[in-house]
Homo-oligomer: A and B are copies of this chain.
Amino acid sequence: MPRRATIADVAALANVSSATVSRALSGNYPVAQATRARIEAAVSELGYVVNAQARALAGLPTRTVGIIINEIVDSFYAYVARGVEQEAAASGRLCLVCCTHGDPRQELAFLDLLHEQRADAVILVGGSISDKRHAGEIIARGKSLRDTGSLLIHCGRATPSEDIAAVEYDNGGGAFAATDHLLTNGHRRILYLGGPKRLSTSEDRLEGHKRALASRGVEVDPDLIQLGGFGQRFGYERLKTVLAQGAPSFTAVFAANDNTAIGAYQALEEAGLRIPEDISVVGYDDLPAASLLRPALTTVNIPLEEMGRRAVRLAVAHGNEYADAYSVASHNVRLGTHLVLRDSVGPARRKRR
């Protein structure tokens, strides 16, 4: 059973020292053409593959970036991950993907695991729960990561500390635009559906919604705010429950994200309500599913992929000017969102005609 070849084997076969082999391979030091050729021959003859662990241990960066997301099959996260992966691959880095399934403790556990792996950067994606203790834990790990030359970047979540860079998007603004669009179409009673409580993402969206209402002097009716989850299931069940309580007192629903909107579609369909004739719907995220729905869903677009790319760039840029990693005021980034008009919003129906 062949043992894996080491640099020493290659060196022996090529009749040079292991230092020369190392130099020829990393190409950061002059090596004579002839020597290089002999080394390359030896490498392919032995099927030599450099050992990344040894390399990292010797002080080189690991060329891996970690990314912590909720759920890989959720398009929201998948697109961010794609951006991260692309940008990472562009610089020859590999991606360590971790899924928390929404468990904040997992978040911390993965942070530790990625620290063990000495990932060049770790990117934490998605809304954060509002919890002082948890935030503290994150900050501590951020510091600790930085002490090893790695960088923690928040992506799509506000930074809990000056020291942690973040790539955000105009979450409240998108919600404002969506609600404003509904208002412009004459809707005054809008059901706000979905979004876990105490999650920054939901809170920001709800805030934007309320701000839009306020800007037109529409009062918020607590009954029209139905928080709870970000899933299709939640959208379906909750809306069904609300609908079961009698004729809808609203003319539109603002689903806190597209998944919830999908659930809302089902509930509306079952209740025999037409979109947008009877009820208008807007979503948030602009996932591919939004344009698959019939009628196609009007929703807020987030530059998810770009966010992922930016996050990596932020981390890697810092990594380059190594000495500055400590002094640089983390250049936060905030990207814009915009409403994508499709077919799920119509004029508000006259009051029980």
Chain A residues proximal to chain B, CB less than 8 Å? 1-4, 47, 49-54, 56-57, 62, 64, 71-73, 75, 78-79, 81-82, 85-86, 89, 94-99, 112-118, 140, 144, 147-148, 262, 288-289, 292-294, 326
Alpha-carbon separation in the docked complex, A10 to B86 (Å): 39
Picked from B1, B51, B75, the residue with its CB within 8 Å of the CB of A118 is B51
A-B contact pairs, 26 of them (CB 8 A): A1-B147, A1-B326, A2-B147, A3-B147, A4-B147, A47-B144, A49-B116, A50-B116, A51-B57, A51-B118, A52-B117, A53-B56, A53-B118, A54-B57, A71-B82, A72-B81, A73-B79, A85-B98, A85-B99, A89-B98, A94-B98, A94-B117, A289-B289, A289-B292, A292-B293, A294-B294
Answer whether A62 and B73 are a contact pair too, CB < 8 Å, given A94-B96, A98-B94.
Answer: no
B residues near A52, Cβ cutoff 8 Å:
53, 116-118
B residues near A98, Cβ cutoff 8 Å:
85, 89, 94-95
Contact A262 B292 (CB under 8 A): yes
Alpha-carbon separation in the docked complex, A94 to B62 (Å): 15
Contact A72 B78 (CB under 8 A): yes
B residues near A294, Cβ cutoff 8 Å:
294
Contact A96 B96 (CB under 8 A): yes
Alpha-carbon separation in the docked complex, A132 to B133 (Å): 57
Contact A78 B82 (CB under 8 A): no
Residue of B nearest to A78 (CB): B73
Residue of B nearest to A145 (CB): B49
CB distance from A285 to the nearest CB of B (A): 13
Contact B99 A96 (CB under 8 A): no
CB distance from A231 to the nearest CB of B (A): 12
Alpha-carbon separation in the docked complex, A116 to B75 (Å): 30
B residues near A73, Cβ cutoff 8 Å:
75, 78-79, 82
B residues near A2, Cβ cutoff 8 Å:
147
CB distance from A225 to the nearest CB of B (A): 26
CB distance from A177 to the nearest CB of B (A): 25
B residues near A113, Cβ cutoff 8 Å:
94
Contact A57 B53 (CB under 8 A): yes
